[in-house]
Amino acid sequence: MSAHPDNPLRVGILIARRLATRILPAMKQSVVVRGKIRLKDFDPGFCNGREKEPTCEKTLALCQRVGELQELLHASEEHSLLLIFQGMDTSGKDGAIKNVLQCVNPPGVETANFKAPSADELAHDFLWRVHKVVPRLGHIGVFNRSHYEDVLVVRVLGLQPEKVWRPRYEQINAFEKMLTENKTVILKLFLHISKEEQAERLRARLKDPHKNWKFEHGDLEMRKKWDAFQEAYEEAINQCSTRHAPWHIIPANRKWYRDYVIAKLVVEALEKLNLKWPKPKEDLSKIRFR
């Protein structure tokens, strides 16, 4: 093949290579998932060149804005916001929830933690226990783990055969579409950490007496299935990142950057609603104090 610049095939190859050098790094920085992804293309330690101190200041300002918008959301009662947190053990779900929602009014937040289902829950379809705790209009809902456990843990641990869990992707998409069509905004957040970072956090739990209670031997058994969980998460994200409820991959090795990204997403989602203060139910112009 000629290397002459007038050779159209050669020029095409050179352009493709240049584009690849621009696109591939961007893949590692992306947050919202559009199209098929591979988790290994996303850097859990990515922080966009930011420094910790100024980023934490911006995060605090964003959290204060979340508090302001949550009050408006609560007053208007026109929409609800559902935050779905998923991630491997130690990915920081509890910490992110606590930090990002530090300025909200607690009565305006509804939380749900999804552990192993009870006998009553197992007697119903897998979405039954989830639908019951979807936030009311005017509220922020927080799912610490969610209905996605039924295509993650159930799959990896073999709790159900593939013929049972595989159709759930489509059922989840239909469920989430129904919620969004009924004024629930959904933010799905996958907290992406590296296997090395998880090891450090597990060691920290062992060293700190105040964190010993968090450690369970089962954590190590689950860690052995790291690759299987990554594969399950990857397929869940690919199957269920839709226009109405896309997944967001959050680089979570750096907790301070994780919180910044999530707080920014929450502010953007609430501001996009263009909420207005409701008009008073009564005529206030004639009210006089004596």
- The neighbour count for residue 107, using CB atoms within 10 Å, is 8
Average pLDDT over residues 7-29: 41
Average pLDDT over residues 20-43: 70
Q: Where are the domains of the chain?
A: 30-195+226-271
Confidence of residue 30 (pLDDT cuts 50, 70, 90): low
Q: What is the pLDDT of residue 279?
A: 85
**Distant-in-sequence, close-in-space partners of 167: CB < 8 Å, separation ≥ 6:** none
**DSSP letter at 77?**
-
Asked whether residue 3 carries a pLDDT value surpassing 80, the answer given is: no
Q: What is the CATH number of domain 30-195+226-271?
A: 3.40.50.300
Confidence of residue 284 (pLDDT cuts 50, 70, 90): confident
Which of 136, 241, 127, 140 has its CA nearest to residue 188? 241
Asked whether residue 230 carries a pLDDT value surpassing 70, the answer given is: yes
End-to-end CA distance of the chain: 95
Q: What is the pLDDT of residue 28?
A: 58
Asked whether residue 151 carries a pLDDT value surpassing 90, the answer given is: yes
- pLDDT, tens digit (0-9, with 9 covering 90-100), for 234-259: 999 999 999 999 999 999 999 999 99
Confidence of residue 29 (pLDDT cuts 50, 70, 90): low
Q: What's the one-letter identity of residue 145?
A: R
With 0-12 / 13-18 / 19 or more C-beta atoms within 10 angstroms meaning exposed / middle / buried, residue 95 is middle
Of residues 209 and 75, the one with the higher pLDDT is 75
- pLDDT, tens digit (0-9, with 9 covering 90-100), for 199-221: 999 999 988 888 888 888 888 89
Asked whether residue 275 carries a pLDDT value surpassing 60, the answer given is: yes
Q: What's the one-letter identity of residue 163?
A: K
Q: What is the pLDDT of residue 16?
A: 36
Asked whether residue 105 carries a pLDDT value surpassing 50, the answer given is: yes
Express as a percent the part of the chain with pLDDT over 70. Answer: 90
Average pLDDT over residues 166-191: 98
Of residues 258 and 32, the one with the higher pLDDT is 258
Q: Kindly report the backbone phi and psi dihedral angles of residue 16, in degrees, each rounded to the nearest multiple of 5, phi listed first.
A: -60, -40
Q: Kindly report the backbone phi and psi dihedral angles of residue 87, in degrees, each rounded to the nearest multiple of 5, phi listed first.
A: 170, 165
| Sign of the torsion angle spanned by Cα atoms 140, 143, 146, 148 | positive
Tokens 């226990």 appear where?
129
Q: What is the pLDDT of residue 126?
A: 98
Name the token pair of 2.
């000629």
